[in-house]
Amino acid sequence: MSEVLITLIVELEDRPGQLLKVLQPISALGGNIVGIIHQRGKKTPLNRLPVEISFKIDSSKVENLIEELKSLGIIIRSFNEVKLTATTSVLLIGHLIHTDISDTISSIDTDGEAECVEMHVSMPEISGPSTAIITISASGKEKLKEALEKLREVCRRKEITIIEPVNEELI
Amino acid sequence: MIKIAIIGFGTVGQGFAELLVRKRDEIEKAIGEFKVTAIADSKSSISGEFSLSDALKMKRETGRLRDDVSAMEIVRNAEYDVLVEASVTKIGGGDAVEYIREALKRGKHVITSNKGPIVADFDGLMKLAEKNGVKLMYEATVGGAMPVIKLAKKYLALCEIESVKGIFNGTCNYILSRMEEEKLPYEQILKEAQELGYAEADPTYDVEGIDAALKLVIIANTIGVRARYEDVEVTGITQITPEAFQVAAEKGYTIRLIAEVSREKLKVSPRLVPLHHPLSIRGTMNAAMFKTDTAGNIFVAGRGAGKEETASAMLSDFYEIYAGSP
């Protein structure tokens, strides 16, 4: 069994219940949703709404899932599959929100081979430093190393303390 | 009869002298008769005829020794076979570098607990010892009672040591493990550590990772990675938030100040350590993990500081010089 990260952009009609139609088959096949982004500003001429859904799923289930979605009449605009074989967590401490955490995190993913798959931010007070643990998955150890190097660079620039794991199977 | 001169008669020097008194029988059985022929601290000294117990008593009661002969004069002129150099660490080495050089030039073995000289001139001092056919031993500079230097040099001698990762500063480890337990901010735990005597009034040397970096340089050179203090990438523990432990725990990690050396890396920084990992030790403990080509991972842990612990490391060096290589 090997896990893959799927990034799917579907076009949904802008009315209740449409998103659920996509999510149910993913969930039924054991997929784990990582993120959903509604691209409200990017409506299609036919008034459809592009929605980007990222999820982790066993690679053997992907084909079934796509069939299933198509049979439900869902329009798949794009589909990207990344084999995630290397994963690590790193801790960030600093003014994460003021320094645009979403920019910090997207810095690791420049070629679609690495992705932040999980994040937990703890912000005890608005003015103080916040702390986040992020989990990064990549298509291989080399890609994970590259992603971490990019993250280090951004953190240096933004004066964020980055705490990396000590266990060597990861890096 | 092995003659010993002790330079530096503070906590460590006294601790070593006390062990000599207390364990005289065991030591003499293992390596033969010995005698302390001279002791010097920064202000006073004693040499010639004296008893070690009396010298200890005198120092404890009056804060000084009998005579005024300087430490350098003792090193240059006193009669001894092994110099035990236990003066306080100064970055850059301080006078201790000269004490050690002088003793080695005279063909005397040296045992030191002082990081300063070993970091300042590792190669120079080692070559000088070799040239003069004597040993320069420095187990006590790293990890207190925990065997690190002789473990690397002797028992892992024919292994390729690919990396060493360790906790070499008890103060930082105490602060981090207490932050983890109490979920309190750094400043508050630091205060607690200061009250308990685990941290200095000015904690910079420990909490900014300087002490750990000095020790890492010593380990690096010991395993054949040429390194100077300036080469170490150092991050201390002062930025760590209490929330960091909470969010780390959710992913099965804690945080420790880890010193790491390999061919590519020379770094002291806070790291995520899996909760079940041997390096997730608590309190003032020190620990080290050696990764080797043939022996796999070797892990050691022990008390990284303390009078008797440091003295025990020096005593193990003493044993090594006289009985370690039959």
Shared domain for A99 and A76, answered yes or no, is no
Give pLDDT, residue A170: 43
Give pLDDT, residue A38: 83
Give pLDDT, residue A169: 52
Shared domain for A102 and A76, answered yes or no, is no
A-chain CB neighbours of B268 within 8 Å are none
Q: What is the radius of gyration, based on Cα positions, of chain A?
A: 18
Shared domain for A54 and A103, answered yes or no, is no
Shared domain for A61 and A122, answered yes or no, is no
Mean pLDDT, consecutive 10-residue stretches, chain B (326 aa), reads 96 96 96 96 93 95 94 96 92 89 98 95 97 97 93 93 96 96 94 91 95 97 95 96 94 96 95 95 95 94 89 96 78
Give pLDDT, residue A171: 39
Tell me if A93 and B247 make a contact (CB, 8 A cut-off): no
Give pLDDT, residue B130: 97
Q: Which of B235, B243, B277 sits opposite A166 (nearest CB)?
A: B277
Residue A87 in contact with partner chain B when CB distance is under 8 A? no
A168 domain residue, yes or no: no
Tell me if A93 and B255 make a contact (CB, 8 A cut-off): no
Count H helices, E strands: chain B?
14, 12
Regarding predicted confidence, which is higher, A168 or A9?
A9
B150 — alpha (psi -120 to 50), left (phi > 0) or beta? alpha
Give me the active site residues of B, please: 215
pLDDT digits (tens, 9 = 90+) for B147-186: 999 999 999 999 999 999 999 999 999 999 999 999 999 9
Res A1 pLDDT > 60: no
pLDDT digits (tens, 9 = 90+) for B252-307: 999 999 999 999 999 999 999 999 999 999 999 999 999 999 999 999 999 888 88
Shared domain for A79 and A7, answered yes or no, is yes
Q: How far is A160 from chain B (nearest CA, A)?
A: 10
Q: How many domains does chain A have?
A: 2
Kindly list the distances between the CA atom of residue B290 and the CA atoms of A80, B163, B176, B265, B280, in Å, as whole numbers in the listed order: 42, 6, 23, 14, 15
Q: What is the mean pLDDT of residues A5-34?
A: 91
- B residues 159-218 near A, CB within 8 Å? 163, 165
pLDDT digits (tens, 9 = 90+) for A101-138: 888 988 887 677 888 888 899 988 878 889 999 999 88
- B residues 253-272 near A, CB within 8 Å? 253, 255-256, 258, 260, 269-272
Class assignment of domain B2-144+307-323?
Answer: alpha beta
| Mean pLDDT for chain B overall | 94
CA distance A168 to B296: 13
Any idea what the CATH number is for the domain that residue A32 is in? Answer: 3.30.70.260
Residue A140: name the closest of A160, A102, A167, A113 by CA. A113
Q: Where are the domains of chain B?
A: 2-144+307-323, 161-303
Entry pTM: 0.84
B-chain CB neighbours of A120 within 8 Å are 247, 250
Q: Which domain holds residue A130?
A: 86-163
B-chain CB neighbours of A164 within 8 Å are 269, 271-272
Two tokens, residue B52: 């070690």
Any idea what the CATH number is for the domain that residue A92 is in? Answer: 3.30.70.2690
CATH topology of domain B161-303: Dihydrodipicolinate Reductase; domain 2 (3.30.360)
Q: Count CA atoms within 13 Å of residue B167 on its CB side.
A: 35
Shared domain for A103 and A146, answered yes or no, is yes
Res A167 pLDDT > 80: no
